Amino acid sequence: MAVVLARLRNYFIAGLAVFTPLVLTVWILWMGFSFFDGILKPIVRPVITPILGREIPGLSLLLNILLLIVLGVFVTHALGRRVYNLFEKSLLRIPIISGIYSTAKEASNLFLSNKDKSFRAVVLVEFPKGGTYSLGFTTAATIEEIQDKTASEVINVYVPTTPNPTSGFLIMVPKSEVIPLDMSVEKAFKVILSGGLTKPKD
């Protein structure tokens, strides 16, 4: 009986290991779909649904995608860029909204931009104290004034927090104390997001 129970337990754990990521993936996709599909529903239901005669799932999402494409075309042209800059400047003058907007913009730029361009390489640094190591990403060159006032050449390293890499610490580490890794930026992000539970393949 003990052997049978042990096997059932192992089978249960194996099934759970396969089932859990599948369910989480479907749930995240469904939540994302429901969120974006619901943005324009207050407009789609009273205006477009009566014309079509029935409600079409995903229609709001499709219109949302088309709207984003139109917005992208608008802001990439000179006139649209000027209008957007004026709007953004006005938004940043509002005390509470400016803080929320600037944080949201930084987070979106972090993930929507090419990470290989934003972060140059993955490194190990002794942080937050000597003898303990943290994964970090080298960024742009350090400001000349800081280089001039430090005893040795320093490198900008962004150390993200787990599991939210949009927050973290910008530290300036002597070049001799930075340990470069062959790990790609994408793999390092997987390790950070999973809290070290993920082991990316070499």
Query: 128-157: string of b/e by CB count within 10 Å (b at 16+)?
Result: eeeeeebbbbbeeebeeeeeeeeeeebbbb
Does residue 44 fall inside a structural domain? no
Residue-by-residue pLDDT tens, the chain, 202 positions: 788 888 888 888 888 888 888 888 888 888 888 888 788 888 878 888 788 777 777 788 888 889 889 988 988 888 888 998 898 899 888 888 888 887 777 667 666 665 545 677 899 999 998 889 999 999 876 777 888 888 888 889 999 888 777 778 999 999 899 999 998 888 888 888 777 777 666 5
Tell me, what's the pLDDT at 27?
87
Rounded to whole angstroms, how far apart are CA atoms 40 and 61? 8
Residue 10: give the domain boundaries.
Answer: 2-39
Instruction: Pick the closest to residue 159 from 201, 129, 199 (CA basis).
Output: 129
Tell me, what's the pLDDT at 119?
74
Does residue 73 fall inside a structural domain? no
Does residue 25 fall inside a structural domain? yes
CA dihedral 71, 77, 79, 82 (to 10 degrees): 80
Instruction: Pick the closest to residue 162 from 128, 194, 201, 123 (CA basis).
Output: 194
Tell me, what's the pLDDT at 124?
94
- Domain CATH for 162: 2.30.30
Number of domains in the chain: 2
For tokens 């040795």, name the residue: 152
197 contacts 172 by C-beta, under 8 angstroms: no
CA dihedral 103, 106, 111, 113 (to 10 degrees): 160
Does residue 176 fall inside a structural domain? yes
